[in-house]
Amino acid sequence: MTQSKNISGAEFMEPQGRHFQQDLSKEMREAINAEMPWGGAKDTLYEGVSDNFISKLPEVLAAGSTGKEMNLQKLLEKVGPPLVPDDPSLKAGPPSLGQRAAATEKEEQAAA
């Protein structure tokens, strides 16, 4: 998706692609395209991870970032250990896009 309409006071670049289209239902795709029509090239609509990223991945890994400015170890030093919740509802995390779509569909069917 593109930048949130809730963000203000920032300069946005033009969208460069739409990713993870496979996670969207037909209705969600239609809603996004109605609200924010895609004017970019068709080859920048990605169902999942883009082929150009996958093709560059060996090069990225070979470059071997040293993490001089930031990496996970330095982040952990600054913020401390991560919170690992023991509450089952927290462990599950937020519902996925598919779970939310299924729940919405179920609610709509129940209301009809």
Residue 77 covered by a domain? no
- DSSP reduced 3-state for 49: coil
pLDDT for 102 equals 92
Q: Does residue 46 belong to any structural domain of this protein?
A: yes
What is the total count of domains within the chain? 1
Q: How many CB atoms lie within 10 A of CB 1?
A: 12
Distance separating alpha carbons of residues 89 and 18, to the nearest angstrom: 31
Task: Please write the tens of the pLDDT for every residue from 3-59.
Answer: 567 777 888 777 777 777 788 888 988 888 888 888 788 777 777 777 777 788 788
Note down the domain range covering 34: 14-54
Residue 112 lies in a domain: no
Higher pLDDT, 1 or 45: 45
Largest separation between any pair of C-alpha atoms in the chain: 57
Q: What local confidence, expressed as pLDDT, does residue 1 receive?
A: 40
Would you say residue 8 lies in a domain? no
Q: Tokens 């692609």: give the residue.
A: 17
**Residue at 65 is within a domain:** no
Token pair listed for 102: 């299924």
- Three-state secondary structure call for residue 18: strand
